[in-house]
Amino acid sequence: MAKEHCLIVLAAGRKLDLLRGEASRVAVASKLGWWSDRAEVGTKFCFEDATAKDNFALACDSFGITCREGSS
């Protein structure tokens, strides 16, 4: 994979489960892969495409969950 498009999300418990489901939905709709990993603070969600990452960021906003750009 040439480049990762990542966001750091500050969520735990059910909110994190909700975001994992949303990340999966966004990735399936884009026909791309995604993964999550622990970050120093929060959880890092990475996508194979910038558009998928942007759609995931919109979902985070709609759920009222804080996210920020993550390093690639």
Q: Which residues contact 34 (CB under 8 A, 6 or more apart)?
A: 23, 24, 26, 27, 45, 46, 47, 48, 52
pLDDT, tens digit (0-9, with 9 covering 90-100), for 9-37? 999 899 999 999 999 999 999 898 999 99
CATH superfamily of 5-70: Ribosomal protein S10 (3.30.70.600)
Mean pLDDT of 44-49: 94
| Residue 1 clears pLDDT 50, i.e. is over it | no
* pLDDT classification of 3: cutoffs 50, 70, 90: low
| Residue 66 clears pLDDT 70, i.e. is over it | yes
Mean pLDDT of 36-44: 91
